[in-house]
Amino acid sequence: MAEKVQNRTIAQNKKAYHDYFVDEKYEAGIELFGTEVKSIRNGGINLKDSYCMIEAGEIFAVGVHVSPYEKGNIFNRDPYRVKRLLMHKKEINKLLGQITQKGLTLVPLAVYFKGSKLKMEIGLCRGKKLYDKRDDAARKQAERDIERAHKERY
């Protein structure tokens, strides 16, 4: 029997959901060094203001900050090092076509462990206008108010 693989989320990019409409989500592996993985296990990763780019048939995550591992000394890498993501060539070519034709962007949404492997969730996103952000904020506030009134009632 297949053992159930447990996902443990390490970091999420909440700002991406505020700034973009997420059309599709993809899963990619991340090429990392040992001290980077240890730092990420301790929660030392930040996805804010990061994005992905496709160059020469490969996909890279830019602006992902991985804090230096405290016991890593000389083995620590640059915290803002560009990280290569691992996806099938077919998927990368599909994403490249959508980015160039529709003017979409790739944004890292989350980093998590899937079993013992470290994975990154990437979103194919469209940018939000200011009025879209206001509408979202008003909708969320209305939902909170309804929930609060519902709690008080019961």
Positive or negative CA dihedral for 60, 9, 26, 124? Answer: negative
Q: pLDDT tens digit string along 8-33?
A: 888 898 888 888 888 999 999 999 88
Q: What is the distance between the alpha carbons of residues 94 and 91, in angstroms, rounded to a whole number?
A: 5
Q: How far is CA 152 from the centre of its chain?
A: 37
Q: Which residues of 59-76 are buried (b: 16+ CB within 10 A; e: fewer)?
A: bbbeebebebbeeeeeeb
This prediction has a pTM of 0.78
At 5, is the pLDDT very low, low, confident or very high (cuts 50, 70, 90)? low
Q: pLDDT tens digit string along 88-144?
A: 999 999 999 888 888 789 999 999 988 888 899 999 998 888 888 898 889 989 999
Torsions phi, psi of 106, nearest 5? Answer: -105, 130
| 2 has pLDDT over 60 | no
Q: What is the distance between the alpha carbons of residues 107 and 80, in angstroms, rounded to a whole number?
A: 16
Number of residues assigned to the chain: 154
- Look at residue 124 in the predicted model and tell me its pLDDT: 92
